[in-house]
Amino acid sequence: MTQRQKRDELLGRGWQRNLEVAVVGLGYWGPNLIRVLAERLDVRLRWLCDADASRLARIARRYPAVRLTTDLDQVLDDPEVDAVLLATPVFTHHELGRRCLEAGKHTYVEKPLASSSELATDLIDLSRESGLQLMCGHTFLYSPAVRAIGDLIREGRLGELYFLSSSRVNLGLHQRDVSVVWDLGPHDFSILLHWLGCMPTTIRATGRDSIVPGIADVAFVTLEFASGLIANVELSWLAPSKLRRTVIAGSRQMVVYEDGSTEAIKIFDSGVDYRDPETFGEYQLSYRSGDIVSPHLPVEEPLALQVEDFLRGIRSDRRSTSQLDLTRDVVRLAEAAEASLQDGGAQILLDGVGAHGRVV
């Protein structure tokens, strides 16, 4: 059966048939995808694939009914497989993603989509030409807290956004193939693009390779936007404890977002108002320090929501153009930040445009 016939059959029969899926890459992150898929009643986990046989053996005990292979071709040659989810290292994403799409499989690639914007664009173009789903694992876009803050910004509740400062630090895991900019940066870059709806006009990054020569493990990335908003993102694998904290300072309200905390979002009715001086040098500042509100958020696992969206896209034959644009622009930001890092913090100019506001 051709991919198009399979798709027509799937669409025609609505939700009746289980989707047959494969997960490739069973290192740190892949098992999370497996767990989320294994919990679904509308999916059959058909293959698990890892180039490292010992990883397969370890996980096989928990999923005895699933086929195992170290060779991706076995998965791609199986006509029953509808979709492949890749959780392999960044440098493999383009090659493996391309092979999956060329084999007619809907494809989910862990973040970032590829190791350069040229390669990311190639995958996106291929998915559009083939009519297959392509999704990149920007899990934070499915976080109830990130979505709630996006709504606050879009509704103008924070007023004019002055600046944004984010820390995403922990101890490890050092990646072998990419710097901290490519590993942790995509989380903040995707969140920023989703919240702000456009690319920055400039980006600068400084950092250092404290432990492994040539691979930066700490980076400070500064992004400037056409509105005047400035964002600073601290990324590090070298911190004594895990912290994922973002502060947003707006003219009306301020927000502290701490991922993993019981009160993930705190909205502060705080700020400073400036009154024009009546005489030279006599300007007035009035400080506001009002209520602090922590909104109730639904308890939903972002990864489960994202996987559900991927599967829904396959069944409904709906592709999100803005999601793919955002995915490509995350790679553009990582690429520009890395270029700046390599050039001692040089300012890199970007186009400042985009329409990422409605991603999901």
Ligand X SMILES: NC(=O)c1ccc[n+]([C@@H]2O[C@H](COP(=O)([O-])OP(=O)(O)OC[C@H]3O[C@@H](n4cnc5c(N)ncnc54)[C@H](O)[C@@H]3O)[C@@H](O)[C@H]2O)c1
The answer to whether the CB of 46 falls within 8 A of the CB of 96 is no
Does 110 participate in binding ligand X (rule CB under 6 A)? yes
Rule CB under 6 A: which of 281-340 touch ligand X? none
Rule CB under 6 A: which of 51-70 touch ligand X? 51-52, 55
The answer to whether the CB of 109 falls within 8 A of the CB of 89 is no
Residue nearest ligand X (C-beta atom): 27
Sole residue written with tokens 């914007």: 117
Give whichever of 112 and 200 is closer to ligand X, judged by the CB atom: 112
Q: Which of these ranges, 19-27, 159-167, 321-329, 331-339, lies near ligand X under the rule CB under 6 A? A: 19-27
Give whichever of 24 and 229 is closer to ligand X, judged by the CB atom: 24
Report how far residue 254's alpha carbon sits from residue 272's, in angstroms, rounded to the nearest whole number. Answer: 11
**In the complex, what is the shortest distance from the CB of residue 244 to ligand X, in angstroms, rounded to a whole number?**
11
Give whichever of 92 and 127 is closer to ligand X, judged by the CB atom: 92
Return the C-alpha torsion angle 353, 357, 358, 360, nearest 10.
Answer: 110
Does 169 participate in binding ligand X (rule CB under 6 A)? no
The number of residues making up the chain comes to 360
Q: Which two tokens stand for residue 282?
A: 């006599």
Q: Specify burial of residue 170 (Cβ count, 10 A radius: 0-12, 13-18, 19+).
A: middle
Amino acid making up residue 322: S
Taking CB under 6 A as the criterion, the residue among 111, 168, 328, 356 binding ligand X is 111
Taking residue 53's Cβ as centre, other Cβ atoms within 10 Å add up to 12
Give whichever of 95 and 224 is closer to ligand X, judged by the CB atom: 95
**In the complex, what is the shortest distance from the CB of residue 21 to ligand X, in angstroms, rounded to a whole number?**
15
Amino acid making up residue 342: Q
Does 27 participate in binding ligand X (rule CB under 6 A)? yes
Bridge partners for 243 per DSSP: 169
**In the complex, what is the shortest distance from the CB of residue 26 to ligand X, in angstroms, rounded to a whole number?**
5
Closest Cα partner for 323 from 104, 96, 101, 120?
120
Does 133 participate in binding ligand X (rule CB under 6 A)? no
Binding site for ligand X (CB under 6 A): 24-30, 49-52, 55, 72, 87-90, 92, 96, 110-111, 137, 139, 183
